[in-house]
Structure 1
């Protein structure tokens, strides 16, 4: 067996002492010895996929950098123990003005030059060149690039343990490497970085002087490009120990050990990073305890009410001898009438169990899910924890069961913004009476399509929001397959057209994207929009949406309003227009296979809930052929509100109305803010509006009644 082989290792202990602002490495011991893995090690000897090392170039005066921070944090949160973020304050946006803190290091400029940083924020994923000639890329590419890296195998695994001597302020860092395959090069490079989180200070685009900076690079303990690894052959085990004296402060910023982390990564050279990890500086470790895995590759399964769906997993321990582990089953937002359990060694458990595992012996665990009458798509997480080594990271696995879901809200994967606003779609579906809906991320949609689990899903609502890339090629292919099989699509997001069709720097065009945009969305991209395009109005000739009232687009992205100008291609209709230029904002089409409606502005940017609910109702009914054209007209004819007279006005103005039910008049300023309301009864025929308290300017008004909205009309006060 592998653990009985004798292997060559390098054992070295290094002392790193502080002297002013320089660190000196003193070599104490360095020689090859023969070593047998008879003691418990930190590092895995099984082949493992690469972990992500995101080096993020940022600065306190960079307005877009908080969005980059959020994208990186979301990537880390979604992939526990798989992502290390190193936030490097560097460049002109990081040079402190008088009175501001200096978060830079002496290492940042060289890292940025190698990466080819030209804007901020930019980042590198494992210092890999994905396109072009440099590793640096915009924040819109981080997630897709990271997902690509995490699906590749690493030739080397990294184990780390860090302890802290509070008397001497010394970190003792133990690093173990194990090569599961030959490196292409005879030497590699080991890098250790000191990071610090929870540093509160200024940040443009953040929360003033109380912005919480995370994963901030404070020091490269092994120097600019790390230290050489001299043996990179398969089967090589290397153990190194480093002692680093933690300074009281760096550039006058206090170094708080409880907020510090140690990032360790191995590079093929100083350029390409194989894999890495991050642990707490005080008592942290990534000790490998084993693994839990699916017996097959099917991660998403279609279930049925009151029928059992099974997933067979294998659990394997990497710890010496026989060890106890806690197996935990968690269900994320599972309906109350769903049941879940698992069987180990013939005994059934509901939530958790303590089981014994022998080293390197696979043990079968059967997980059983029984959906109830309530529809849903539920994520299940299996966690495996060591009882003897509770500080070691748990191992985990995800699987999904979908039952009786007809409508899926799918959040784009390019950034966290889509997840902030998916409620606009789900609440709209609720208003339409749809109780067979669920919300999932785009990567799970791709997996579900690959696993052929979505045969009951008829309608998809793709919520891109303002994220990049708006869609990956893999996601495009999955959505096209869904539509070709008869699925209907609603898709929305500002800059989808710019991203897929403009060909601009940092956009994500491809032949697959062009085909999707032109032949599935039935749209032509004209140009990028701006904040002047903040009012939508419906095409009065449209057979579905003609009675939807005008609506404001609200600036929810802090001054970043880029609704695309588009045009319908042959076979499609232009549904909504921008008032400022009469260019199309929304197009729809119906083919023999599918129906599609595409919002070139973010649907979440429509600031009036009654209007978004109304659009979602009409879309749901149109997708399901549940209302005739006349019924559409009848459903929208409950409110009439005419143009006020006189207009412009100074003291008073009169608004003609006709309502079936009582309602409310809302006055909205030019910024989209509601500044006044007035109750209106169904028996009134006009509203005499006193405007003496309003300042001169342009206003808008509409009536809300029984959850429906009138068209938005303009009021000018002089």
Structure 2
């Protein structure tokens, strides 16, 4: 049955003293498909971001006609096609924020950074959306209120009817997905929208749009999203939805470089700027916390587990987050989430806090899109005896301003297969750091592709210049189609190394050459003339770039050696760099266990510079001794002991955090490890 459409438009120009800027609500749009395998892999990332930032962002998801069958596209081919073609999208999944195309939705943390950057640019207009929805008809009332003169040209007001969650008992396509958020059902009054005249501060435009409700829609789950977009630039100036929205706000920095035992307090608030009351619940989730660190949620000066409150229109909730740094090096990452208790999907708005005590000569940046590949680097650092500070890429932008020049002798950047490989902020930070005489090791798959392919999310001139100038890399191909690599004889980093490229994820090993001709190619694809890694000494800074991720290297010795030797080439000396089994180190050391987390067993390595008494013991978090692996005299050398997760009675211990302690030469070294059953 064809849907009929009627819409009435009432336009009012009211001169009112409304000068100022409005809270910006960001529009998230996505093109997806129920038979697209990468969509099934990446849509959870998009939804993880959206569900914890609702109110800062609202969304509409378009369903494409490729690569396979999609019933949500079939139910409205015209509107879905129009919006996908509007952005010239040629691959799915693909997401846009405020009209800017960012490609594959790979990293929730990066999407949150993008959203916050847009929110920081207040909008000259406010959009109010309400809807009266029944089984037969949907009536939407929309107001566009100019708080300042609106200068962008060729403005259009666009409105979408969405179904908040379309759920199928069985996957409707071939990619296994059953749940589809914010599905586009209808564009009102049509895909083009309504042309908006020039707006002066104080003007108000009111529209009423009506459409029948298709019986295939779940009408109680419908909502209306409206946005103001410039067709001259595709920029979205403002958006809103016919549901209550709110955000958590603070004037305080949400990332700190801290001293041991330092306490900080953050003042936060939520304003209910909706015309109806909202029922909120505020809670704090510890995403990561080092031993000895603590935090508290404070309401009216008292520590509470959570805050449950009903906010009247225009009422503000004030509360605080208190953080106490530990006595030693470490970090904390917290998420403060305000949930709408009346939202059936449990959506809310979260702000994250990151606190860090700097240590060591190496800054490690984890940019792998939320995977756990950082542990490969941790094992290499610990094996080399290198102290380091670890920070997520999303927090680096907040902390970069506070990191003293010359604090770190090297930056190690883990891209893995994360997107975007580099953001403009990343490039600015790394360029300034290298210009000051720093050193960089960066590794990952598809970095060059992401920077140079037009559909890449790092496809911007500054990234391309960085790739050519600082890395001295010339991108040739995103797939060398050879899945083994070998080092270059005599090279200080890769001499004698060889490994296969494993299938930890799909393999697209990069092929590169030297851009200037002065860089040294250091990893060759076996039995070919192709290369995948380069080192470059500019005379001021030094860089090592690998077009395959550390986690893709099948040989653990090669992984450890490449990182350790690269740091040694940078002039950073640790103990045990590229160790030989049994060789006596220059000083006593205890390496991080590997693997970590582990199940059922893990290896613990230590080194003795001279003959001596040694005791290696396992403790639980209560300080109780669980097992003793070594207790006696050992000659100088390096040793590896395996713990099988059993206590001194031979019984398996429970999952959880454990500590292993090395006592020798009157010194005590202790590290933590995680057993996951």
Fold shared, TM-score > 0.5 on shorter chain: yes
By how many angstroms is 1:360 displaced? 6.8
1:192 matched to 2:160? The reply is: yes
1:512 matched to 2:486? The reply is: no
CA distance in 2, matches of 1:186, 1:586: 48
Counterparts in 2 of 1:540 and 1:78: CA distance versus 1, 3 Å: farther
Contact 1:198-1:259 at 8 Å conserved across structures: no
CA distance in 2, matches of 1:160, 1:572: 58
1:552 matched to 2:500? The reply is: yes
Q: Tell me what 2:392 maps to.
A: 440
Contact 1:187-1:230 at 8 Å conserved across structures: yes
Q: Tell me what 1:88 maps to.
A: 62
CA distance in 2, matches of 1:126, 1:410: 28
Q: Name the SS for the 2:376 alignment partner.
A: helix
**Aligned pair count?**
578
CA distance in 2, matches of 1:433, 1:508: 34
1:276 matched to 2:239? The reply is: yes
Q: 1:467-496 CA deviation, whole Å, 9 max, x = no partner?
A: 554223331110122334454422112232
CA distance in 2, matches of 1:514, 1:508: 9
Q: 1:575-629 CA deviation, whole Å, 9 max, x = no partner?
A: 322103143322234677655321112223224455434544555666673358x
Query: Mind listing any 5+ residue stretches in structure 1 that lack a counterpart?
Result: 1-19, 38-42, 129-135, 250-254, 280-284, 639-704, 709-718
CA distance in 1, matches of 2:72, 2:268: 53
Query: Mind listing any 5+ residue stretches in structure 2 that lack a counterpart?
Result: 584-638, 643-677
Give 1:532's match in structure 2, choosing from 481, 484, 497. 481
CA distance in 1, matches of 2:343, 2:90: 45
1:263 matched to 2:225? The reply is: yes
Q: Tell me what 1:585 maps to.
A: 532
Contact 1:294-1:314 at 8 Å conserved across structures: no
Contact 2:6-2:209 at 8 Å conserved across structures: no
By how many angstroms is 1:47 displaced? 1.8
CA distance in 2, matches of 1:619, 1:481: 21
CA distance in 2, matches of 1:339, 1:517: 41
Q: 1:121-176 CA deviation, whole Å, 9 max, x = no partner?
A: 55554345xxxxxxx674489969767644433222334455765xx465565545
Q: Tell me what 2:331 maps to.
A: 377
Contact 1:380-1:399 at 8 Å conserved across structures: yes
By how many angstroms is 1:227 displaced? 4.3
Counterparts in 2 of 1:155 and 1:484: CA distance versus 1, 3 Å: same
Give 1:493's match in structure 2, choosing from 433, 436, 444. 444
1:226 matched to 2:198? The reply is: no
Contact 1:44-1:178 at 8 Å conserved across structures: no
Aligned-residue CA RMSD (Å): 4.9
Contact 1:300-1:451 at 8 Å conserved across structures: no
Counterparts in 2 of 1:554 and 1:102: CA distance versus 1, 3 Å: farther
CA distance in 2, matches of 1:44, 1:214: 36
Q: How does 1:97-112 map to 2 (within 5 A)?
A: 102=74, 104-112=76-84
Counterparts in 2 of 1:48 and 1:454: CA distance versus 1, 3 Å: farther
Q: Tell me what 1:334 maps to.
A: 289
Q: How does 1:13-412 map to 2 (within 5 A)?
A: 20-25=1-6, 27=8, 30=10, 32=12, 47-56=22-31, 58-60=32-34, 64-66=38-40, 69=43, 72-73=46-47, 76=50, 79-91=53-65, 93=67, 102=74, 104-122=76-94, 124-127=96-99, 138-139=103-104, 149-160=118-129, 165=134, 168=135, 173=140, 175=142, 177-184=144-151, 188-195=156-163, 196-199=165-168, 201=171, 203=173, 206-207=175-176, 210=177, 212-227=179-194, 232-236=199-203, 245-249=212-216, 255-257=217-219, 261-268=223-230, 272-278=235-241, 285-288=243-246, 292-295=249-252, 298-313=253-268, 318=273, 328-341=283-296, 347-349=301-303, 351-352=305-306, 367-383=321-337, 396-406=350-360, 407-412=362-367
By how many angstroms is 1:329 displaced? 4.3
Q: Which range moved further: 301-310 or 355-364?
A: 355-364
Contact 2:435-2:541 at 8 Å conserved across structures: yes
Counterparts in 2 of 1:366 and 1:458: CA distance versus 1, 3 Å: farther
Q: Name the SS for the 1:587 alignment partner.
A: strand
Contact 1:568-1:574 at 8 Å conserved across structures: no
Q: Which range moved further: 578-587 or 426-435?
A: 426-435
Q: 1:405-438 CA deviation, whole Å, 9 max, x = no partner?
A: 44544344xxx75636444334544555667543
By how many angstroms is 1:340 displaced? 2.4
CA distance in 2, matches of 1:273, 1:88: 17
Contact 1:88-1:104 at 8 Å conserved across structures: no
Q: How does 1:654-693 map to 2 (within 5 A)?
A: none
CA distance in 1, matches of 2:478, 2:275: 62
Q: How does 1:453-464 map to 2 (within 5 A)?
A: 457-464=408-415
Q: Tell me what 2:553 maps to.
A: 606
Contact 1:324-1:386 at 8 Å conserved across structures: yes
CA distance in 2, matches of 1:176, 1:376: 49
1:419 matched to 2:376? The reply is: no
CA distance in 1, matches of 2:60, 2:458: 25
Counterparts in 2 of 1:545 and 1:246: CA distance versus 1, 3 Å: same
Q: Which range moved further: 309-318 or 460-469?
A: 309-318
Contact 1:50-1:152 at 8 Å conserved across structures: no
Contact 2:61-2:181 at 8 Å conserved across structures: yes
Report the TM-score, using the length of structure 1 for normalisation: 0.66
Counterparts in 2 of 1:330 and 1:218: CA distance versus 1, 3 Å: same
Report the TM-score, using the length of structure 2 for normalisation: 0.69
By how many angstroms is 1:533 displaced? 1.8
Counterparts in 2 of 1:320 and 1:555: CA distance versus 1, 3 Å: closer
Contact 1:44-1:158 at 8 Å conserved across structures: no
Q: Name the SS for the 1:154 alignment partner.
A: coil
By how many angstroms is 1:371 displaced? 0.7
Q: 1:643-677 CA deviation, whole Å, 9 max, x = no partner?
A: xxxxxxxxxxxxxxxxxxxxxxxxxxxxxxxxxxx
CA distance in 1, matches of 2:500, 2:535: 20
